[in-house]
Amino acid sequence: MSIVTRYETPPPEAINSQIMQLVVDYVTDISMVAIAPSNPLYNLYQYGIGYEVHLYLQAMDGSRGIPVELIVATDEQDPETVIGFLLYLPVQDDPQACAVAYMAVQARHRRQGVARAMLQTVLSRYPHAELACFIAKVPYFEALGFQVVGARGPQVLMNTRDHCTDGLLAVLDVAPIYNSLEVRQIHTYLLQQHGKRAMVDAEKQRDRHLDQMTRQARAFVQERLGDAAVQNPLPGPRLV
């Protein structure tokens, strides 16, 4: 069993550091490109996705004008230990809507209802929820009441209703992270460690995998919802 706590302000540092460790440990699950540990770019994505989550956690203090909320699951036997987290973004002009941004559960605590408990906590406050997941996860979220509404890049877009909110969703611009000095330094280190050819191959491998997942997501949605859903996808929340 787990203890589920909701935060609307930045969590204590002890919680924060454990969330960051979960991101590092499960970046393959969290990353939209599903980067594999065997790919030499893996360390770069650990830093990049980790910093994304770090910025959103910082934004919980209201300094960036973006509403961010957090669900943390801790071990019932050891309440100081974080076993899962779910970071989501309330839609600004739709009080019932939110979008799940990042979620992870420790591997040894999976299939114990941790993710379900966190999502139910979110849905009790924001019943119109949206998330994007890989095809393999669709049955799991369908069992929790989500339904397929479209494709978003390599992922399937799911919603608790048959349509997306048309409200305003504020997101952070994370693109500068991947052009930062720190990322360039990590890339230079990886280049020295693996060599130029291996790094070029790693980027090609990532891109091929991403293209394959994108095609599969579109085909999956097309099979579920028909050609119109792929050619004319439902509009999502307006991003700012």
Distance, in Å, from the CA atom of 240 to the CA atom of 235, rounded to the nearest integer, reads: 15
DSSP 66-101: ---EEEEEEESSSTTSEEEEEEEEE-TT-TTEEEEE
- Alpha-carbon distance 60 to 186, whole Å? 28
Nearest to 29 by CA among 104, 136, 135, 99: 104
Cβ atoms of residues 83 and 11 within 8 Å: no
Is residue 90 a part of any domain in this protein?
Answer: yes
Classify residue 225: in a domain, yes or no.
no
Q: What is the pLDDT of residues 182-213, one digit of tens each?
A: 999 999 999 999 999 999 999 999 999 999 99
**CA–CA gap between residue 19 and residue 65 (Å, rounded):** 22
Task: List the CATH number of the domain containing 55.
Answer: 3.40.630.30
Whether 148 maps to a domain, the answer reads no
Residue 138 lies in a domain: no
Whether residue 236 lies inside any domain: the answer is no
Residue numbers of the domain that contains 26: 2-128+172-215
Angstrom distances, CA of residue 45 to CA of 12, 79, 185: 25, 30, 13
Residue 85 lies in a domain: yes
Is 67 in contact with 61 (CB distance < 8 Å)? no
Residue 229 lies in a domain: no
With respect to residue 22, please indicate whether it lies within any of the assigned structural domains.
Answer: yes
| 82-121: pLDDT as tens digits | 999 999 999 988 999 999 999 999 999 999 999 999 999 9
Count of the separate structural domains present in the chain = 1
